[in-house]
């Protein structure tokens, strides 16, 4: 019996030990479960949240570009896209089954809306790998007819919906295209996309004001959170932060005058600038030929881009600010002011013009081969006599002329808010020595005096010169942008007009030159009489400048005007690349422009150019 008792006690001991071990293991398991499910609940929940939530960058509505009267020149509109939501279309099993279903749906929808498929199988696979939680956009820019057919469709539309994207539009098409520029797909930096897993298409200014004020108009992007499952499909979404709309840019531009300016040179290569001489406001700035920025959205078609860049007339170049020309005779008022202001000549001094001016043994021809006879300042400006201006130019010297030209703003950028502005060139003896390794000669001064030689200006600079002549010598910085305002209409920033300087020219001297310019347009024999319009006193100056190779010489035709004469409100510079003369080619176009600005009935006039 004792042996049996010992055996029983031994078995009970082992059972107790096993129970104790099991209890300890259960306690450890319970502790671990408590730690996982209670103590570290927040940690795992946060980890789960991070793994299942994705952030999408939402672009902000882009600010507008408005003219001085509130007319929208660059605006936004909804772009209706047909999108497929893959989480609703997915098929069980391998991805290839879902891809096949998407292709089937696209083929079916293509027949329904009457458009060819643009999404390939490779595009679908790329979307699955990189942008699965986002809708797959199958077509953009659906027209009303396609939208109507989708609305009335009787087929299975599960997972198919209209997806709206913002699109940039230019309501006036080509109007002011060189000023506005265009937008394209934004190239986001690492800093822009930090913290975002996905981005939606955004616009970015590529040229003109769209580029110059891109940061202002772009606004601030927002964010959206989407919850996805282990396969990457979206299950829910919520807005994390609403985007902040971009600010709008308000221009000094008058769209009515801009349209008139563009119409005046619609059929020729050239440029027009219209300023308000009272404050430097840019009322119009046109370049021809032009382009339609609406065709550049959302991307520039390759064929169109190649066509524009192959055009010898360079439609993408803003000739008003980025092209330089020899000004020809429209520069002569500067020579006259310089000679009168330094006392080298007097208003009453006369010069005999036999039709040429002798520089040593070489004759510099006047545009009138028969000569103008004896002319004073007023008559010389009216008739654009080369001999008179070469004579007074030599008398006063090139330094006096170049100094005043620089004060007018030539030879330097005007600081207008546009791309690729050219500074032009005011030649000096030092410049010629450095550039050509040659000395300045009397012939250089003669050419300089009549706006030829190495002198190079932009149409904008010539409009500023016309404005300064109109207002009595005040040189303003051209003001294209007048204000910025937010989406609620509150003005955030005003840009006042800036008077750069007052020309050091006596009022009597300025008026003497202005009177000659008055006769250019208003006198029966003035070279610019074709520009005149009934009932408006105007002043101006015509110019013609040769360019190109000797065997293929062409002429730039110029004209500057300001009006009304007593209280000028408009100062204009117009250039035509290939002209007969300023008076014959440009004068009638200025007439058309000024007639539109002031209103009236076209006048029938005849005359010759100078």
Q: Which residues of 321-342 are buried (b: 16+ CB within 10 A; e: fewer)?
A: bbbbbbbbbbbbbbbbbbbbbb
pLDDT confidence band for 136 (50 / 70 / 90) = confident
Residue whose structure tokens are 């020149």: 73
Under DSSP, the state recorded for 63 is P
Residue corresponding to tokens 């696209």: 106
The dihedrals phi and psi of 82, each to the nearest 5 degrees, come to -100, 120
Q: What is the pLDDT of residues 179-230, one digit of tens each?
A: 999 998 888 887 877 777 667 778 899 999 999 999 999 998 888 776 665 5
Q: Does residue 561 contact residue 539 with C-beta atoms inside 8 Å? A: yes
- The whole-angstrom separation of Cα 460 and Cα 272 is 8
Lowest mean pLDDT among 82-96, 184-198, 424-438, 558-572: 184-198
Burial class (CB in 10 A: 0-12, 13-18, 19+), 354: middle
For residue 604, pLDDT beyond 50? no
| Average predicted confidence (pLDDT) for the chain | 88
Lowest mean pLDDT among 97-111, 430-444, 448-462, 580-594: 97-111
The share of the chain scoring above pLDDT 70, in percent, equals: 90
Placement of tokens 């000549």 in the chain: 345
Residue 328 CB partners (closer than 8 Å, separation 6+): 450, 451, 452, 543, 544, 545, 556, 558, 582
Q: What are phi and psi of 88, to 5 degrees?
A: -95, -15
Structure tokens of 431? 């410049």
What domains lie within the chain, and their CATH numbers? Answer: 54-251 (3.90.1310.10), 255-598 (3.40.710.10)
Q: Given pLDDT bands bounded at 50, 70 and 90, which one contains residue 160? A: confident
In the block, tokens 């082992």 appear at 14
Instruction: Categorize the per-residue pLDDT at 607 as very low, low, confident or very high, splitting at 50, 70 and 90.
Output: very low
Q: Within 10 A of 593 (CB to CB), how many other CB atoms are there?
A: 28
The top-scoring range by mean pLDDT among 82-86, 109-113, 166-170, 276-280 is 276-280
pLDDT digits (tens, 9 = 90+) for 384-414: 999 999 999 999 999 999 999 999 999 999 9
Region for 404 from its dihedrals, namely left if φ exceeds 0, alpha if ψ lies in -120 to 50, beta otherwise: alpha
Nearest Cα residue to 589 out of 558, 552, 553? 558
pLDDT in tens, 106-115: 888 888 888 8
Q: For residue 97, give both structure tokens.
A: 């089954």
């Amino acid at each position: 019996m004792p042996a049996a008792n010992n055996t029983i006690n031994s078995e009970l001991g082992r059972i107790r030990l096993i129970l104790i071990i099991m209890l300890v293991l259960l306690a450890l398991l319970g502790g671990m479960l408590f730690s996982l499910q209670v103590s570290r609940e927040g940690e795992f929940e946060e980890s789960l949240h991070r793994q299942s939530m994705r952030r999408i960058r939402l672009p902000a509505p882009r600010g507008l570009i408005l003219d001085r009267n509130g007319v929208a020149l660059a605006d936004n509109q909804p772009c209706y896209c047909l999108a497929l939501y893959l989480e609703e279309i997915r098929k069980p099993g391998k991805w290839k089954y879902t891809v096949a279903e998407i292709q089937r749906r696209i083929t079916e929808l293509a027949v329904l809306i009457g458009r060819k498929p643009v999404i390939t199988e490779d595009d679908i696979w790329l979307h699955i790998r990189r942008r699965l939680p986002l809708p797959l956009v199958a077509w953009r820019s659906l027209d009303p007819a396609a939208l109507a057919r989708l609305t009335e469709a009787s087929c299975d539309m599960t997972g198919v919906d209209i997806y709206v994207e913002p699109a940039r539009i230019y309501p006036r098409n080509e109007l002011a295209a060189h000023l506005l520029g265009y937008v394209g797909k934004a190239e986001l930096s690492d800093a822009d996309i930090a913290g975002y897993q996905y981005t939606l298409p955004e616009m970015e200014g590529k040229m003109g004001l769209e580029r110059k004020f891109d940061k202002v108009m772009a606004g601030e992007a927002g964010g959206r959170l989407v919850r996805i499952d282990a396969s990457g499909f979206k299950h829910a979404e919520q807005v994390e932060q609403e985007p902040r709309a971009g600010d709008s840019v308000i221009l000094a531009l008058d769209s009515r005058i801009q349209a008139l300016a563009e119409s005046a040179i619609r059929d020729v290569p050239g440029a027009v600038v219209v300023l308000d001489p009272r404050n430097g406001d840019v009322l119009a700035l046109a370049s021809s030929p032009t382009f339609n920025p609406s065709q550049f959205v959302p991307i520039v078609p390759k064929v169109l881009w190649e066509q524009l860049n192959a055009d010898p007339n360079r439609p993408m170049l803003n000739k008003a600010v980025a092209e330089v020309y020899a000004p020809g005779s429209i520069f002569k008022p500067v020579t006259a002011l310089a000679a009168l202001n330094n006392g080298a000549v007097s208003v009453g001094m006369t010069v005999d013009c036999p039709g040429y001016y002798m520089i040593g043994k070489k004759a510099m021809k006047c545009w009138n081969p028969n000569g103008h006879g004896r002319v004073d300042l007023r008559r010389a400006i009216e008739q654009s006599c080369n001999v008179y201006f070469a004579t007074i130019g030599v008398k006063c010297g090139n330094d006096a002329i170049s100094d005043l030209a620089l004060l007018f703003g030539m030879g330097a950028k005007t600081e207008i808010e546009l791309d690729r502005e050219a500074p032009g060139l005011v030649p000096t003896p030092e410049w010629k020595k450095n550039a050509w390794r040659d000395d300045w000669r009397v012939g250089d001064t003669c050419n300089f005096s009549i706006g030829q030689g190495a002198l190079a200006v932009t149409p904008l600079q010539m409009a500023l010169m016309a404005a300064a002549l109109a207002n009595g010598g005040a040189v303003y910085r051209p003001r294209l942008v007048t204000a910025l305002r937010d989406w609620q209409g509150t003005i955030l920033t005003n840009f006042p007009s800036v008077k750069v300087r007052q020309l050091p020219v006596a009022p009597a001297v300025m008026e003497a030159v202005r009177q000659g310019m008055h006769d250019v347009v208003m006198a029966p024999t003035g070279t610019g009489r074709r520009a005149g319009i009934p009932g408006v006193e105007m002043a101006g100056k015509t110019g013609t400048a040769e360019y190109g190779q000797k065997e293929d010489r062409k002429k730039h035709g110029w004209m500057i005007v300001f009006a009304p004469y007593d209280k000028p409100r408009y100062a204009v510079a117009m250039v035509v690349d290939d002209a007969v003369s300023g008076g014959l080619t440009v004068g009638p176009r200025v007439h058309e422009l000024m007639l539109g600005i002031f209103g009236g009935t076209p006048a029938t006039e005849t005359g010759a150019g100078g």
